[in-house]
């Protein structure tokens, strides 16, 4: 068993990104990223702080626009449109979840697809499934970089994804298909889940239930990617995979923390850089 060190890979990629960013700044373009944070959700505050820190380290023009939880949908859409039109910003990210009175889909549709660094706009989702992606959701994009770094050959492999969200499960399936894996998406209604996951050469788990996947779900020698971020009774961060058990049977596995998380933020920055770079040729 070997551990996939997402933290080390993220640091390596961020060093490369800093070099590329410095060159772009010399050409007169500073990658600009605005994160719009609605309300005071504590988990969102932590994520946004981490994004801001990395963006600043890379030399980006980084802005966090904090707005009251009571903001009207119309006013939030106005703010997004303001950044759509502002050429200083190449990436716009609205931190989810949003308060109940705001329609998430309407918000995602309002973001300019060229600036949608989260990759959630339906146009970007469509381009991804078409095999011609512009912006890709950061977590699946980061997982693909891990496969590359650790020389995981995906061609013809059985890949099973546990979870069907638009953020991880579905885009992950599209990316694995592009690399010629045979893909199965499972979810809460899947019958005999254990029988399905036991067939997986590559198992990607994103269901949001702490320590749900134990060793008896996993084929010997499988590559296991744990996207889960849960708190146990003691407040400790744990994944969806029971690491101690599953690491005994997996050939490669990501830890939590230090696995997928750092890569998610890195890919977000990479896409902001790419969006800024594209403006040279526009």
Would you say 42 is a known binding-site residue?
Answer: no
14 catalytically annotated:
no
User: What is the rounded distance in angstroms from the CA atom of residue 57 to the CA atom of residue 60?
Assistant: 8
45 catalytically annotated:
no
Q: What backbone phi and psi angles, to 5 degrees, belong to 130?
A: -75, -15
Would you say 62 is a known binding-site residue?
Answer: no
Q: What backbone phi and psi angles, to 5 degrees, belong to 117?
A: -70, -10
Would you say 164 is a known binding-site residue?
Answer: yes
Among residues 14, 51, 114, 240, which one is catalytic? 51
What is the edge-to-edge ordering of all strands in the sheet holding 252-253?
2-3, 252-253, 223-226, 202-205, 158-162, 182-186
127 catalytically annotated:
no
Q: How far apart, in Å, are the Cα atoms of 184 and each of 130, 189, 203, 260?
A: 18, 14, 10, 21
What is the total residue count of the chain? 282
Among residues 118, 201, 226, 240, which one is catalytic? 118
Which residues carry a binding-site annotation?
163-165
Catalytic residues: 51, 95, 118
Which residues carry a binding-site annotation for NADP(+)?
163-165
């Amino acid at each position: 068993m070997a551990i996939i060190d997402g933290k080390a890979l993220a640091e390596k990629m961020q060093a490369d990104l800093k070099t590329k960013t410095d060159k772009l700044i010399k050409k007169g373009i500073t990658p600009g990223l605005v994160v719009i944070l609605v309300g005071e959700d504590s988990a969102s505050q932590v994520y946004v702080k981490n994004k801001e820190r990395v963006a600043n380290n890379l030399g980006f023009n980084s802005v966090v626009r904090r707005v009251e939880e009571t903001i009207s949908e119309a006013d939030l859409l106005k703010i997004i449109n303001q950044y759509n039109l502002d050429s200083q910003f190449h990436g716009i990210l609205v931190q989810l979840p949003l308060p109940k009175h705001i329609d998430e889909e309407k918000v995602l549709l309002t973001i300019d697809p060229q600036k949608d660094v989260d990759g959630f706009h339906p146009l970007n989702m469509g381009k991804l499934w078409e095999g011609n992606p512009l912006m890709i959701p950061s977590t699946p994009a980061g997982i693909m970089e891990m496969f590359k770094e650790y020389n995981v050959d995906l061609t013809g492999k059985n890949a099973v994804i546990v979870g069907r969200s638009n953020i991880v499960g579905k885009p992950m399936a599209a990316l694995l298909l592009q690399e010629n894996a045979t893909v199965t998406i499972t979810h809460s209604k899947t019958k005999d889940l254990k029988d399905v996951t036991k067939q997986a050469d590559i198992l990607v788990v994103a269901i949001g239930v702490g320590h749900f996947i134990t060793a008896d779900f996993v084929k010997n020698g499988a590559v296991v990617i744990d996207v889960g971020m849960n708190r146990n009774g003691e407040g400790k961060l744990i994944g969806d995979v029971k690491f101690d058990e599953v690491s005994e049977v997996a050939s490669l596995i990501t830890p939590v923390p230090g696995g997928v998380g750092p890569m998610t933020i890195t890919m977000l920055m990479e896409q902001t850089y790419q969006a800024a770079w594209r403006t040279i040729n526009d």
